Structures are given as structure tokens and as C-alpha cells.
């Protein structure tokens, strides 16, 4: 049931789409096909910019629709396996920049959430925000002990707005899946569900603070990355207080060069940070766009990154880590057979996939790329092309790999911008080789064995009691062994159907034979013998049809 508010919002969306020359999206639905000719009567059809590419028109429409749609477009831009390249490139340009809400409202929210006047909580508080985004904005402040901090405050009423727009996105996704020709292939409802989880996580600043604390522990004492400290006593779900950092925006390349920054080292460090987070810590910052990264150039020859905004964090399970590292190394060594086998073994593509065919497809993607100089090869783009190829083999969407791909594309793009000669392959390969040796070596095996000792100890301690219970049940003839699986259930159903078919076949056949024998008996009318044989034939046919029908139903289940 569509509410009046949703109806008005839908009308607004249609208006914006038409204004940007996207009225063909509105009229794609079957319900509008009879009146599709009306597009030529629309003033927007005649006044729109005909020279603007569709990707640019979509981007501008999302910007006009508001911050939630902007963030949705940003998320979609990472799903290049689903979108045309021109659309994905334009969506990647979306900027999450919105006007700030009044500083006095931020002050009021802080006082309401923390239960004290701002003057008691902070020595200084600036009502002019340092930055403003669609979900929150940041204010500078100073603690009573003199430490500089920033206060992140959720926008007032933002959760209500977001949940309302999410309901609308779900409705639009359902309509797209039903009426849009590519709807089922692109799975818009799954995309919206993935986006919903991400955006709702960003509404919990305690979660973001916990992510920041974990990342800070991981890089404690590191010369590669600095993570500001969370001030937990003043952190709540809608307010977060964190150490203020000072640095140069990583996108301000002119200033970095003017300060004498070693740009090559800065670019290489970015790659090392990425692979360290993914493979050593298994906890990576998944929103590392230039707006969230600064550079500390106190020592220009040893620059250090400083990260902010920890709302989106990615992790991998150990199995995915292992397969991913081996995939990377197989790429480096151009071992396409191994790449294909790893995709099947990991379950990323169906088990029935023919390895030879997949190997050939991977080789077709990689060989043209590898014939260029290594410094000209984009590893992120190679990974993207591989995912697109795997999708032809029904590769299931792996959300954790999508985040990883997005982060790798960001890091590589940033690294190339800082130092155009960056060779990601040379930087990454030694790290992956060392990591693989550590994971598969004797020390790693002993470490895993030692980690499993507590569980083994508990099992050994509980074993006598469990054995005693089994022996008692066996002595009392109460032991039951239950084995249940889909295959066994299917086998039982199949056997039951075959037995039924055999029963009816035997019964029907016996009646047919009996009818034939009665034909030769004196005193038995011809019609009686024919009736018996006919009934037998019908029993046989009915039993055969019934068995097939039941078998079909069982397969459907």
C-alpha cells in the first residue's frame, strides 16, 4: 500500500527524471506503453539537453533527488559488474556535499544526548561546522584539559528520512524487477537490500567509533597510518567525539609537492596499507576516497597517512583471504588454470562449472592486458574484468569482495594520481608471497594446532560422559541413529514412487493376463474377458501416470 507521502515522493522523482531527459525510464513500465506517445508532448522532451550522455543525466538526477539517492548512486558505482561503464563512471563522480544545518541545532542535540550544557562539556565549541554530509556534520571543539577534538553529530530527523526513502527505493526496485526488461538480471531488490544495510550501519556512531578504535589498535606505533583516538565518555549513538587531526588533504597534490613530500613513497605506502589491512589484520577501511584521507608531512621524506570516517569497514573470512591471495599470485604468474580452479574451489562460481571453459575465458581477459608494460596495467580494472567474466558463469555476488574491489580501485587510483609511475604489481607481489608462506608454513600450522587445543581439551574431558550415555542407551535398546539429508529424502521419495509404479504394473498386468486366459475358458462370455483385460490395462496406465506425477512433484519440492 502506497502512502500519500510516498505518492508525492514518486511524483517528485518522476518530475526530476523527466527534467533530466530520463522520461524513457518512466515510460518503460508496461502500464505506460499505450500512452508512450505522450513523451513527444512533454516540454522536457523538446527542451532537454540532447548532447548530455545518459550517465551524466542519471548523475544529475540523483544529485537533485537528494543525499540518500546520492549515496545510493555512490554505492551503485562500485557495482561495475552490473552497470554499463559510462553510467558507472558518472556515478563515481557523485559528491556527498549538502548544506549544513544550523550550529545551534547541533549544540542542542549534543546537550540533549550528553545531558549537560556544552559549556560544561567543552572549553570551546565552534557552531560553524568543519564539514557537512548527508548523514552527519562535524564541529571543532576543545576538551576541558585543552585537547582538540571534533564532534560528529547526526542530522536531526535523518533516520526517519532515510527509512522513508529506503521504503521508496524498495518499492522502485520491486517495480523495476517486474517491468524493466533488465530488472531480473540486475537484481535491483538485492542491491537496495545491500545498500540498506550499509546506510543503516552509518547511523550508529558507536559502531563507527568501535571501528576506529579497532583500526587504531591495528596500526598502533605504525609509521604508515595514523588513526585518531575516540573519546568514549562523550560518545553516543548520535554523537561521537574524536581527536582532531591536522594534515593536508591527499587530493591536494600541489601542496604536498610544495612541502617536499616523497610522492613515490606516499603512493607505495598506500598500497602497503591496503594489503596489510586485508591480509594481515583482516579489517579494512572500505571508504577510502580522497575526502577521508589526509597526509601528515611533519617529516616530508617519511609521510604518514591519517584516516577519518570509519562507518564502512570490510572483513573477509580466512577461506576468502586464502583464495584471494592465491588468486592474486596466480594473476602475477599468469597461471589461468589456477585462477579458474580457485574460483570453483572457493564456491564463487558453481561447482559444475567446466574449468577448461572458465580458464579460456580468464585467459581472454588477461592476455591483452599483460601484453602492456606493468606500470600501465590497472590491477583494479583487471579484477573488475574478471568479475564480469565470472558473472557469465553464474558467479554469485560476494558482498565482501565488492567492498574489497571498491577499496582497491580507490587505492590504486589514488596511488596513480600521487605517483603516475606506480607499479602496483611490484609493490604487492612480495607482500602476498610472504603472507602466503606465513599462512602455509610450519609456524602457521603449529599456531593453528595450538589454537585448537582448548577445543580438543574440552572434547576429551566430555568424551567419557558422552560414551557412557551412548552405551547405556545401547544397553536399553533406546539408541536411535538419525541421518537426514536432502539426497536421502529424495532417494526415499523416488523409491516409494517406483514401488507404487511396480505395484500397479503388476496388478494391471495380472488383470490383462487373466482376461486373456478367460478368453479360452468355456462358458465365459467374451465381454467379461474383455472387461477384465480392459480394467487391467487402465490400472496399469493410471499407476504409471500417477507415479510420474508424484515424481514430478517431488522434484519441484
Place of cell 577445543: 455
Distance between CA atoms of 154 and 158, rounded to whole angstroms?
7
Q: Are 381 and 80 in contact (CB under 8 A)?
A: no
Residue-wise pLDDT tens digits, 169-222: 787 778 777 766 656 656 677 777 877 887 888 889 999 999 999 999 999 989
Which cell numbers in the block locate residue 223? Answer: 609509521
Distance between CA atoms of 421 and 415, rounded to whole angstroms?
9
Distance between CA atoms of 107 and 111, rounded to whole angstroms?
6
Three-class DSSP category at 377: coil
Residue 248 has a pLDDT of 94
Question: From residue 11, how far is each of 4, 17, 100, 314, 549 by CA, in Å?
Answer: 11, 10, 27, 37, 50
Structural domain boundaries of the chain? 4-96, 246-458, 493-556
More confident residue, 15 or 234: 234
Catalytic option among 287, 309, 320, 423? 287
Q: Are 75 and 134 in contact (CB under 8 A)?
A: no
Burial of 29 (0-12, 13-18, 19+ CB in 10 A): middle
> How much is the mean pLDDT over the chain?
77
**Residue 511's pLDDT band (cuts 50, 70, 90):** low
Distance between CA atoms of 356 and 337, rounded to whole angstroms?
8
Three-class DSSP category at 123: coil
Q: Are 263 and 421 in contact (CB under 8 A)?
A: no
Residue 286 has a pLDDT of 83
Place of cell 567492498: 403
Residue-wise pLDDT tens digits, 246-277: 999 998 899 999 999 999 999 889 888 988 99
Mean pLDDT over residues 309-332, rounded?
83
**Residue 168's pLDDT band (cuts 50, 70, 90):** confident
Mean pLDDT over residues 62-76, rounded?
75
Distance between CA atoms of 227 and 222, rounded to whole angstroms?
10
Full DSSP string of 253-311: HHHHHHTT--HHHHHHHHHHHHHIIIIIIS-EES---GGGEEEE-SSTTS-EEEE---S
The one-character DSSP state at 210 is H
Mean pLDDT over residues 131-157, rounded?
92
Residue 259 has a pLDDT of 94
More confident residue, 356 or 525: 356
Three-class DSSP category at 466: helix
Question: From residue 71, how far is each of 96, 133, 307, 334 by CA, in Å?
Answer: 7, 10, 20, 37
Residue-wise pLDDT tens digits, 334-386: 888 988 888 888 777 777 788 888 889 888 877 777 666 556 666 666 666 77
**What is this structure's pTM?**
0.69
- Catalytic site includes residue 309: no
Which residues is 149 bridged to in the sheet? 141, 243
Amino acid at each position: 500500500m502506497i502512502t500519500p507521502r510516498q505518492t508525492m515522493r514518486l511524483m517528485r522523482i518522476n518530475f526530476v527524471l523527466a527534467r533530466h531527459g530520463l522520461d524513457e525510464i518512466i515510460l518503460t513500465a508496461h502500464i505506460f506503453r499505450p500512452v508512450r506517445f505522450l513523451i513527444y508532448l512533454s516540454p522536457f522532451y523538446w527542451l532537454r539537453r540532447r548532447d548530455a550522455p545518459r550517465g551524466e543525466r542519471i548523475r544529475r538526477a540523483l544529485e537533485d533527488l537528494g543525499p540518500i539517492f546520492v549515496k545510493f548512486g555512490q554505492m551503485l558505482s562500485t557495482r561495475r559488474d552490473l552497470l554499463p561503464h559510462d553510467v558507472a563512471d558518472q556515478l563515481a563522480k557523485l559528491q556527498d556535499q549538502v548544506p549544513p544545518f544550523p550550529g545551534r541545532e547541533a549544540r542542542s542535540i549534543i546537550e540533549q544526548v550528553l545531558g549537560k550544557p556544552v559549556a560544561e562539556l567543552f572549553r570551546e565549541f565552534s557552531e560553524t561546522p568543519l564539514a557537512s554530509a548527508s548523514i552527519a556534520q562535524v564541529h571543532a571543539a576543545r576538551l576541558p584539559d585543552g585537547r582538540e577534538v571534533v564532534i560528529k553529530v547526526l542530522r536531526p530527523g535523518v533516520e526517519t528520512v532515510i527509512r522513508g526513502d529506503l521504503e521508496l527505493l524498495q518499492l522502485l526496485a520491486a517495480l523495476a524487477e517486474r517491468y524493466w526488461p533488465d530488472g531480473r538480471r540486475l537484481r535491483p531488490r538485492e542491491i537496495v537490500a545491500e545498500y540498506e544495510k550499509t546506510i543503516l550501519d552509518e547511523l550508529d556512531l558507536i559502531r563507527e567509533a568501535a571501528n576506529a578504535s579497532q583500526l587504531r589498535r591495528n596500526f598502533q606505533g605504525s609509521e604508515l597510518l595514523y588513526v585518531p583516538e575516540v573519546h568514549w565518555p562523550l560518545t553516543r549513538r548520535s554523537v561521537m567525539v574524536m581527536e582532531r587531526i591536522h594534515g593536508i588533504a591527499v587530493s591536494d597534490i600541489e601542496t604536498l609537492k610544495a612541502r617536499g613530500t616523497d610522492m613515490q613513497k606516499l603512493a607505495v605506502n598506500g598500497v602497503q596499507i591496503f594489503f596489510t589491512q586485508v591480509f594481515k589484520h583482516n579489517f579494512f577501511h572500505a571508504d577510502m576516497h580522497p575526502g577521508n584521507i589526509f597526509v601528515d608531512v611533519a617529516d616530508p621524506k617519511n609521510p604518514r597517512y591519517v584516516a577519518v570516517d570509519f562507518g564502512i569497514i570490510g572483513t573477509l573470512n580466512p577461506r576468502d583471504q586464502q583464495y584471494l591471495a592465491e588468486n592474486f599470485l596466480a594473476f602475477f604468474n599468469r597461471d589461468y588454470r589456477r585462477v579458474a580452479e580457485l574460483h570453483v574451489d572457493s564456491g564463487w562460481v558453481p561447482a559444475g562449472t567446466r574449468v577448461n571453459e572458465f580458464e579460456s575465458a580468464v585467459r581472454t581477459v588477461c592476455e591483452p592486458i599483460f601484453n602492456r608494460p606493468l606500470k600501465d596495467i590497472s590491477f583494479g580494472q583487471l579484477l573488475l574484468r574478471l568479475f564480469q567474466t565470472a558473472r557469465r558463469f553464474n558467479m554469485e555476488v560476494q558482498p565482501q569482495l565488492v567492498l574489497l574491489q571498491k577499496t582497491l580501485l580507490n587505492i590504486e587510483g589514488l596511488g596513480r594520481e600521487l605517483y603516475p609511475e606506480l607499479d602496483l604489481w611490484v609493490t604487492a607481489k612480495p607482500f602476498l608471497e610472504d603472507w602466503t608462506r606465513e599462512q602455509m608454513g610450519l609456524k602457521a600450522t603449529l599456531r593453528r594446532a595450538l589454537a585448537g587445543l582448548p577445543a580438543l581439551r574440552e572434547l576429551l574431558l566430555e568424551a567419557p560422559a558422552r560414551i557412557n550415555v551412548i552405551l547405556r542407551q545401547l544397553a536399553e535398546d533406546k539408541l536411535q541413529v538419525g541421518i537426514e539429508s536432502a539426497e536421502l529424502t529424495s532417494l526415499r521419495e523416488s523409491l516409494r514412487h517406483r514401488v507404487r509404479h511396480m505395484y500397479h504394473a503388476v496388478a494391471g498386468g495380472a488383470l490383462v493376463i487373466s482376461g486373456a486366459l478367460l478368453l479360452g475358458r468355456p462358458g465365459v462370455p467374451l465381454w467379461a474377458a474383455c472387461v477384465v483385460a480392459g480394467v487391467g490395462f487402465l490400472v496399469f496406465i493410471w499407476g504409471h501416470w500417477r507415479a510420474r506425477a508424484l515424481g514430478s512433484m517431488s522434484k519441484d519440492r
